[in-house]
Structures are given as structure tokens and as C-alpha cells.
Structure 1
Amino acid sequence: MTIGGTIPTSGPYGEIGGNQKQAVELAVKHANEDGDAGDREIEVVFRDTQTDPQRATQVARELITQENADFLAGNFSSSVALAIGELAQREDVIYTCVGGSNALTGKQCRANVFNAGNSAVMQTSGGLRYVLEQGLGESVYEITADYSWGQSIQNWNETQIVPSFDGVEYLGNTFVDFGATDYSQAITKARNSGADIISFNLFASNHVQSAQQAGDFGLFEDHVCVWPATGIIEAAQIGPQILSHENFYASAPWYWQHDVSAAREFANSFNEEYDTRPLGFSASMYAGVRTTLRAINAADGTEANAVRDEMEDRELFPQLWNVGERFRACDHRATIATMTVKGRPPEEVDGQNYYRILEVPQDPEETQMRTCEQTGCSF
């Protein structure tokens, strides 16, 4: 059996993609050892998507037609996942991905696409909602990356999260271009708004640059600042001095120091294999791939309809969040828990243990996810 790996290993997200590629390789190794797909020997062939939807569609097609891939797996860019998902539906193959945009499991959902990652709604519910629940402010301003993922978060914050808290005022938003490096104007607007809380809806290098500039502007002195998606790559670049500030908060799709047995086993195995720690998106792909392989074994083949029937409402394996996470039947989104994290003080940072976990919601479908009716997904 051949898995078509669609992961960016170069370009703006190449470092994150490299870690996710390792997670898929480890999933294949463990699946072969444990017989996830029965007596089928599993291999994976990778193609670099470069985080470009057009190229991603091209290489995904090559994996299906030239490499005879039985299903596709990988990626964390929403725009890329939408493009590959459309192809997977046309070619009638299963595609297991990670992507935050609400569109992926909303009105643009595809029956053959299963999303093992948390949505934009879930990411901001692990960050902004947490600081509001803690009573850390009464007004909110946003700085948002102007593409699908950022737009999904901004809209949900403005229309759903902030209005759900009595007495909390929404003061505005500034959109910034994808790939921007200077956030001074947006930060100035946010500071001048008088908001208690500033939500930076930015990812990867944009997360790093905005956090560093927020520190340069002294923003943490008077404002609670929150980022909806963070990981150890960003943490290493931001540095513990900023991360450990009392007004720095972030959410993480998963963090390697989560203290449950499956998470410890996966994190230790990953570290032994690659001498680094797995990212949250990598944990999602590891569980997503192994769950798909077990569904294929239960379906006794790779015919998409049969696999889809086995995937729907199947619990993810292994349970890296330990909250009974599964692929929802209504939209094929994994019910994983988005964690809220804060940076450790510099003197406590040893290796890659940058964060401490503040919260792991035990019922994410109830507290962090859109209802099935809210998604607008219809297969």
C-alpha cells in the first residue's frame, strides 16, 4: 500500500513541513510494526507542495497517477488542503490532512477529506476565549493575516466569542498582508484603540515577528496579547524572555509535554528517531495516518466509500489528546482539544520545553467546536 505524502518541505513553511514529514514516516514505521493495515506492507512517497495550491494539485495528481497512491496524507495550509481535497474528491481517494480554515469542514467540505487538525474556531477558542474566561480584559482588538485561516479566526472572534461575554467590547481589527514583516502600523492602531486584549491572528514566521515587535513596542506592559497557534519552532525564535511575560498567551493544537501515556510514548519515540520534538501539526498527522490505515484494514480495501464509512466517528489512534477524540461524521473534523499555553521562565527552559500547559479541555466538541449545523457542511 502506498501513501501519497503531500507536505511542504521547502518554501515559507518548509521547517514545519519537515517535522510533519518525519511524523508521517514514523506513523508508517509503527503501522508496519503493529499491523495497522493487516498484512499490507505500507510505504510512503513524498512530494513537496511548497505551500502553493497549484503545485500541490499537480504533485497530488502525480502521486495518484504515477505512484499509484492509495490515499493522500499531509499538509497544514488551508488553501492547499482545499485544492488537494477537490482533486481527491474527483479522483475518489481519501485525503487525510491538517488545516485550520473553517471552509475545509464547512461549506467547502468534501466527503473524501478528513481533517486531523483543529479548526480556526478551535484555535482561537483555546486562546482568546481562555483569557476572556479568566477575566483578563473587557475589550478586544485584532491583528489578522488576510487569508482564509486568519479571516476565519477574525470573523469568529468578532461575531461569536466576544459577544458571548457580557460587558466585553469589540474595538476593531487590522488586516495585514500574508508574509508581512512589519507590524508597526497595526500594533500602533491596536495600542491606540485602548483594548485590554489584542489577538494576533498570525502564524509561523508572522507569529514570531509580531511577538518580537510587540515586545519592542512595550505592548505586553499594558495589554494581554494572545496568539491562536504556536509551537516549538516559533518558541525557539521568539525566546523565553517574551514567552514568559505574564501577558503572553497562546494556544497550541498539541504540545509534546502533554502528560498522558500515548502522548509521552509518541513524543519520546519521535525524539529518539529524529533528535527533536514533534510539533502539534505533526501529532495530528501521525494520528491521522494511523487512524486511516486502521480504517482501511477494517474496510478490507481502499475503496473510498468503504473507508469513509469506517472513518466516520472512528476514534483517533493513538489518543494523543486523551479526550476521546474522533473524526466527526458530520464534517470529518477531528474532535481534538486545543491547549492553552504560556512560556516557562528562562531559567526553567531546558531543551525544547518552552511552554507549560494551562488548559486541556476535556470536551472540545462542546466547548471549542462549531456545531454540525453551524458548519454548513453537507456531503
Structure 2
Amino acid sequence: MTEPAPWLAAKQALADDLFGEQDSWPARAFNRASRHTFIPPRALHAWPDRSTMDQIDLAADPDGWYRAVYSDHVIVTQQDKTGRSTSSCSQPSMVFAMLTQLDPQPGERVLEIGTGTGWNAGLLAAYLGADQVVSVEVDVDLAEQASGRLRAAGLPVRVITGDGLSRVPDEAPFDRLISTATVHTVPYAWVQQTMRAGVIVTPWRSDLDSGAILSLMVAGDGASASGNFTDIGSSFMSIRTQQFTAPDAPTNFTELATTSVPAIGPEDLFGEHAKFAIGLLVPGCLSWFDYNDEGLIDTVWLCAADSWAALHLATTVHQYGPRRLWDEVESAYHWWVEQDRPAYSRFGVTVTRRQQQVWLDTPDQIVTKTDA
């Protein structure tokens, strides 16, 4: 009697968690486009709520490798020289939440931005057919590797090496477009590449690096796209040209800064929905945390150009520069409370050739604008 493949039990367990008894196209696509065929032999297992990642090695520990690959966790597949993650195979539950939101129909054509490992393109190809999917990847090595994996899986999607923010594929316009990387500003080229009444699904982030899944529909005249966020928070890697690196604070920051007592603590300001709204109202502001030896937040940092703020141990605020960033953040929090603490789905986005507008409840209630 032939022994079952070592990954079958792990794959079935994840399928049960994701789909249960449901016989849906995502479940069938998951069965055909096996996740492990798109993961390199050596990668990093990103555990939720941990600041570190575990190395996984198929040759050294195949059981551990398969368990990680068939967990509902992110697998990081590429890092740059600084150790920053630059490509990954996304959390399966998030992948399928976005594909469900995209809702492709048989016979439709889909453009994917950000091929990465190729797994998402493989899932789409397993359902629609490989000739109905085109994927764009900016990294030459990733594009070649993903293309090879897709061919090996019998899902030979066309993978284009290029900038997914610009108009690349000759096959445009597409019925639907999905991005697997986060944007801060939706490229108008995506609207141009999508058919009228077509759908665009992408992770989107406000400033403060808080994000959610955005679903847009292209207008009947093809000149704009508009739609709401879903209530699905997201933490996808940003499109490379829209990434940021936290700068170093001035060495004499505390000497230069003014000191005050915060009116609101970080647990209020940085709940997921509050942080998203605050990021809309405090433009250009980055945030990150310093942790103590026990893994608890020691300092909350804010930075925008030459302005800085730091909340230390939730008891003291230091601010320096032309903008009073902590004051702006607290004011934005009060606005969010006054609006009845809106969740992601009360916000929406309209994209035109000239501008991106983020609004609350209806497109005429504009919260912030960004020039294209």
C-alpha cells in the first residue's frame, strides 16, 4: 500500500479550517494549486503576534516545513540586505477573503499586480484557466521563479516583469484586477486597465501604516472608480515604490522637544479602526514602536518630515518640529469618536485621473484628498 504524501494531512486540516464542508471555487482551487508547490525549500515562518520569524528548511525538517506551509500564517520568501521582508506567501485566510471579494466569474479575465510566489495567480488560474490570468511582478528573479512554479503546476499564467503601477499588459482592459501588495494611493492606470463596471480589489493603507481591503468598481464611463473598504484589516507588504523606512530621531531629541502629559493612551489611539481613521487625518505621518525586554511597548514614535513625537511608557509625550504630531493625533482621535467610531467599511475611496479622495459614508463627505 502506497504511503500518503507527507503534506496531505496538513493540507486537509487547513482546508477544513478555511472552507469546512463548503464546495466552492476557492476550495477547489486550493485543492489543485497546492500551496507547498509555490514555497521555496528555505523560507521564514511568520508567527502572528511575534516580532521574530522561524527558519523553515524542507531538507533539514520536512515535517516542520509542511506544518508551517499549511498553517494559516504568512511565509516570508525574500528579504533585502537590511533584513526587511520584501516578498511573501500571504496568510491563506486573507488570500481567500480577497479572492471572495474579487468574485471572478467564469470566462472573465483577471490582472494580478504582484506575482510574488505565484500562488495567488495559480489559484485564479485553477478556477478561470491559465489563459485568463495575467500577473505583473517588478522583481525579475521573483517573476522567473513564479513563472517556473506555475508551469510546473500545470497552470502556465503569463507573468510579466514590470512596474505594476503603470500600464503594462497588452491584453488590457481586464474584467477584474487584484493587487497582492498594499498601496497608499491607487494608481489611475489600474482604472484604465479595468473594464467599465469592472472590479479592483487591493490592500490599502492610510498613514500610520494601518490598512484594510478596498473594493472599487469602475464607473460606467470608465473615467473613475469608487467603492468602500471591507471590514477586513490587512497588513500586506507595501508596493515597493510606496514603502517607507523609519528614520532615526535626532540624537538630542529629548533636549529639543517640549514635554507634556498625554490626554489619551496608545490603547485608545491605536486600536485598528481608530488608527486607520487617524492616519487619514494626520497626513505624511509614520508610526512605529520600541519594545522593552518583556516584549511590551516602551515608546510610540511618530515622524513626519522634520517633526517628531514620542509617547514614553504611556505617561510622557515629547514633541519637536514645526508640526505638533501628538496633538494632531489626539485631535484626529476625537474626530473619530465624534463620528461614532466608524469601522473600515464606513470609509470609501474615489479614484479619478487627477485625485484620490477618501470619504466617510458617502462620496460627498470627503475626509482627505491626494493628488495623482
**TM-score strictly above 0.5:** no
Answer 1 or 2: which has greater strand percent. Answer: 2
TM-score by length of 1: 0.32
TM-score by length of 2: 0.32
Answer 1 or 2: which has greater helix percent. Answer: 1
RCO (CA 8 Å, sep 6+): is it higher in 1 or 2?
1
Largest Rg, 1 or 2: 2
